A and B are shown apart, each in its own frame.
Chain A
Amino acid sequence: MTALTQTNPAGQLNRYPPGDLAIWIFILAELAVFAIFFATYAFTRMNNVELFNQFQQHLDRDAALINTLALITSSYFVVRAVAAIREGASQICVRWLLAALGMGVLFLAVKSAEYGHHFSAGINLSTNSFYMFYLSLTFFHFMHVIMGMVILAAVALKARRGGYSIEDHTGVETGASYWHMVDLVWLILFPLVYVMH
C-alpha cells in the first residue's frame, strides 16, 4: 500500500486525487445515488422491521462473504497494478489487472447463482419491500461491477500494448479509482442488507 505514495516525494501532498478528475466527479455522483438508496432502505426498514428481519434471514450470507472477499482482494490487486505501472512495469500491471478481473468474474458468478436461486423460488421485485430493495440495490451494484470490469479490461488492453508509462499512467489510476468505488459501495451494502438487524 505504501507504493501508492511514491509518485510524490515523501511528505508532499497532492491537490487532486489519483486519476482523472472527471472520474472523481462521476464517482461522487455515483456515491450520492447509493447513499440515497442506503438511507431509503434504512428508513423503509424502520417501518417494516419484522418483515425485513424475517426475509433477511433467507439471504445467503456465505455467498455474500465470498463476494466481499472477492471485491476486497480485487481492489488490492488493482492497487498492486497501479504500483506496478508507477514503476513502469507494464506487463506486471497487466497481470495484476487480470487477477483483479478474475475476482470480478468470481463476484458476478456467485451473485448470478444467488439471483438464480431467488428467481427459481419465484421471488421478484414485487414480492415485498425487502426483496424490492435487496434486488434493486444489489442489481444496481451488479451493473457497476460489470461497468468497472469493462473499464479495467480497457485499461488492461491498453497497458498490454504498452500504452502507459511512468510519466503517463493517469488512465490506470482512473480505472483503479472507479473500481475502488465499486468495492467501497459493496462494503456498506453487505452489512446493511445481509447482516444488520
Chain B
Amino acid sequence: MVALTLVTYSIGRLGLSGLDIALGVLLLALIKGHLIGAYFMGLNRVQGFWRWPVTIWLLLPGLLITIAFVLAEG
C-alpha cells in the first residue's frame, strides 16, 4: 500500500498528466481503497449485504470521476 502511494506521489511529483495517467492513478487509489475495506475493515470475512458497501462506494464515485475526466478531455 505504501508502495502504491509512492507511485501516485511520484506521478504527481513528475508532473505527469494526461487521461491515461489520471485514470491509472484513480485505479491505484481504488485498489488501495479495496485493500482497506477487505483487510483493514475485515470485510473479506463478511458475507451478504454488508460485504459490498465499501466496494460499491469505491466503484460508484470511481465511475463518475472517470466519466467526468473522459468528458473533460473530449
- Does A touch B (CB under 8 Å) in the complex? yes
Whether the pair B45, A191 counts as a contact (CB closer than 8 A) is: no
> Considering the chains assembled together, what is the distance between the CA atoms of A24 and B29 in angstroms?
22
Q: Please give the distance in Å from A137's CB to the nearest CB on chain B.
A: 12
Of the four ranges (under 10, 10 to 19, 20 to 34, 35 or more), the interface on chain A belongs to 35 or more
Instruction: Name B's interface SS.
Output: helix
**Quick check: is A187 within 8 A (CB to CB) of the other chain?**
yes
Q: Which of A40-57 contact B (CB under 8 A)?
A: 42-43, 45-46, 49, 53, 57
Query: Does B39 lie within 8 Å of A191, measured CB to CB?
Result: no
Residue of B29, B54, B61 near A39 (CB, 8 A) is: B61
**Distance A13 CA – B46 CA, assembled complex (angstroms):** 5
Distance in angstroms from B35 CB to nearest chain A CB is 9
B13 to chain A, nearest CB (A): 6
Q: Which residues of A contact B72 (CB under 8 A)?
A: 45-46, 49
Q: Would you call A119 an interface residue if the criterion is a C-beta within 8 Å of the partner chain's C-beta atoms?
A: no
On whether the beta carbons of B17 and A17 are closer than 8 Å, the reply is no
Query: Across the interface, which residues of B come within 8 angstroms of A154, CB to CB?
Result: none
Interface assignment of A120: CB less than 8 Å from any CB of chain B: no
Chain B count of residues within 8 A CB distance of the other chain: 45
Q: Are A197 and B17 in contact (CB under 8 A)?
A: yes
- The contact of B26 among A18, A176, A196, by CB within 8 Å, is A196
Q: Are B8 and A195 in contact (CB under 8 A)?
A: yes
The residues of B with any CB-CB pair to A shorter than 8 Å are 1-2, 5-6, 8-9, 11-13, 15, 17, 22, 25-26, 28-30, 32-33, 36-37, 39-43, 45-48, 50, 53-54, 57-58, 60-62, 64-65, 67-69, 71-72
A-B pairs with beta carbons under 8 Å apart, 22 shown? A4-B40, A13-B47, A15-B48, A16-B50, A39-B61, A42-B67, A45-B68, A45-B69, A45-B72, A46-B69, A46-B71, A49-B72, A57-B15, A72-B1, A176-B41, A180-B40, A184-B33, A187-B29, A187-B32, A188-B58, A191-B28, A197-B17
